[in-house]
A and B are shown apart, each in its own frame.
Chain A
């Protein structure tokens, strides 16, 4: 029981020293890195003469090692720190470090070394005359001596410490001294002394406990009084709150009252408002109705205005149109009158023209009768030439083409023109006068007349007839001293059936004949009858054809061959006519005429009109 108490006190003494010595408290993990760094810093600072810093780092290291129970390393570092502190004369620090070293060796169980360091510590404390430090140093020394079982020396140190503690009136130190003395005397079996010190210790302890109890009690009463004060304050506050509450209650009641009143008022107001609203609604309704009526009236007004405008506009338009119309009507009626006038005129002209046309037509028709009368009788040709045809197709009523034949007397002499024999022959001509229609017909009249005249005195040859005809025409039309160029193109044959000879001459007009299935073509001379005569004397070639066996002769004007038609609108051509005639030469001549007609009609078609008078003549000898 006593021992436990003592151990407890030992620690009480040691720990304050320990804490007093440490400048810095290092907590947490002890890092190897840190120690290395600190060691380096400590030695560097020591070398540089920076002893305060060096001492600081040595102390740091020492405390760290001590904390980690590396006592030897801790002791070494403390020794290094002492060296540094002695350099700067910090005796206080050295004193504390001696204490620490004493403690370390005590912990290590190296009590002799521990006692040496505690003594060194005590020595400095004595030098400094720090009475508390001396007392606590003596207690530490007593503690280590106790462990070394040097009980008398222990008692010496403790008695000195007791004396100082009493002087400085330090109850704690004194109590520790009594406790330790009681223990030491017990060890040397001086029980009475031990008991004496124990009683002293006990008394002090009880006093301490009492004091502590008193302190606790005081603290408690203080707390109670504090609590009471707080309670009072709370009570007061509560009372205050109560008052406030009641006041508020009153206020509330007043407010409620007021609110009720207000509510009442507001209810009334609401009623009024409702009433007003209803009135307002009614008014709005009325307003709306009025608005509708008003809007309707406005729309109606606008519509009325539009309709009125439209009516007015259309009225004016109509009026304008009417005005325009009346103007137009006037113009139109004027124009109509004019047109009617013109129509009348036109009608008149038309009738005039119609009359003229009729007159002309009847004239021409009459002229046709004359021409027909003048023309040789086609039927009578059959008497002379039973195998013959005349395909005669004038373009207009009267024709510029004409056929002519006459019984002629042949003469030998060129000059006398006397019919020396009774040799009769048939002269037959196929003539195309310049122009067609009336001028052509006029020319044909001249032609017929001249041919009649020329042949009446007897004929020498076909060629001679043409030469004479040419001269006669030029003479008749006075072409030598005017610019009349009219004349004719013709083929003429003189058929001497007794001699079986056919004479032919052509003025720009050919002869075609087929004999024994062979065709022959005589183009005739290029010169026409009448017109210009650049050469001094116009002569025509006289062709003689001996007819041994039946031969069919054809003469034709260019009307048939020059007719446009066919698929390409080409001229029929002389060649084609010759081909047709040859192909149909076996047929009798009436049939051949039919064939020619058919070919012509189909070639011309409806697309083309007949361009010229047509005359094709054929006869077989």
Chain B
């Protein structure tokens, strides 16, 4: 399975999906004009990945901005990854700037919504 990358732009975050290491990283501003075009390939990759996942998977999310449509896509990704449990390990890292309380709250909402354990990291 091939790795998947998207370079960060003004309205989309950087995406880095590494099958070998079992790592998914999404960082930056997420307000693409079309969330489907941007996130569907990521979701497709995750769907494929969970069919043959690594024993331990880490998803690292660090948003500076996350619009409501993007947040729905993130929720979908997290829901897909939740399927790895309990047979595989899943680590969710939520990165946020220390003074970005809203982003921390967003992470907390996701934690509640997905009922998964988040690791909160200040950047």
Please report A residues at the B interface, Cβ cutoff 8 Å. 432-436, 483, 485-489, 508, 523, 526-528, 530-532, 534, 558, 561-562, 564, 570-571, 573-575, 611-612
Contact = CB atoms under 8 A, between A and B. Distances in A.
A562 B76 contact: no
Interface stretch (B12-20, B51-59, B107-115): B107-115
A621 B108 CA distance: 32
Nearest to B43: A483
Interface string B35-60: 10000100000000000000000000
B72 A526 contact: no
Given A562-B65, A574-B102, A575-B101, A611 B31 contact: yes
22 contacts: A434-B67, A434-B72, A435-B69, A483-B40, A485-B69, A486-B69, A508-B109, A526-B108, A526-B110, A526-B112, A526-B113, A527-B113, A528-B68, A528-B72, A532-B75, A534-B79, A558-B68, A570-B97, A571-B65, A575-B101, A611-B31, A612-B67
A523 B109 CA distance: 10
B68 A432 contact: yes
Contact of B102 (A485, A488, A528, A573): A573
Contacts of B31: 611-612
A485 B73 contact: yes
Nearest to B66: A562
B100 interface: yes
Interface in B75-93: 75-76, 79, 82
Given A526-B109, A534-B79, A561-B102, A611 B69 contact: no
Contacts of A483: 40
Contact of A489 (B68, B101, B108, B113): B68
Interface of A is mostly: loop
Given A433-B68, A528-B68, 19 more contacts: A435-B69, A483-B40, A485-B69, A486-B69, A488-B68, A508-B71, A508-B109, A526-B108, A526-B110, A526-B112, A532-B72, A532-B76, A532-B79, A534-B114, A558-B68, A571-B102, A573-B99, A611-B65, A612-B31
B100 A571 contact: yes
A125 B105 CA distance: 175
Contacts of A564: 65
A611 B75 CA distance: 22
B100 to A, nearest CB: 7
B71 A528 contact: yes
A467 to B, nearest CB: 16
Nearest to A400: B68
Nearest to B105: A523
B92 to A, nearest CB: 15
B100 A573 contact: yes
A434 to B, nearest CB: 4
A180 to B, nearest CB: 166
Contacts of B64: 571
B54 to A, nearest CB: 23
In order of increasing CB-CB distance, the 8 nearest A-B pairs are A526-B109, A434-B69, A485-B72, A526-B112, A531-B72, A434-B68, A526-B113, A574-B102
A612 B31 CA distance: 9
Contacts of A528: 68, 71-72
Contacts of B99: 570, 573
Contacts of A433: 68
B101 A485 contact: no
A558 B71 CA distance: 12
B44 to A, nearest CB: 11
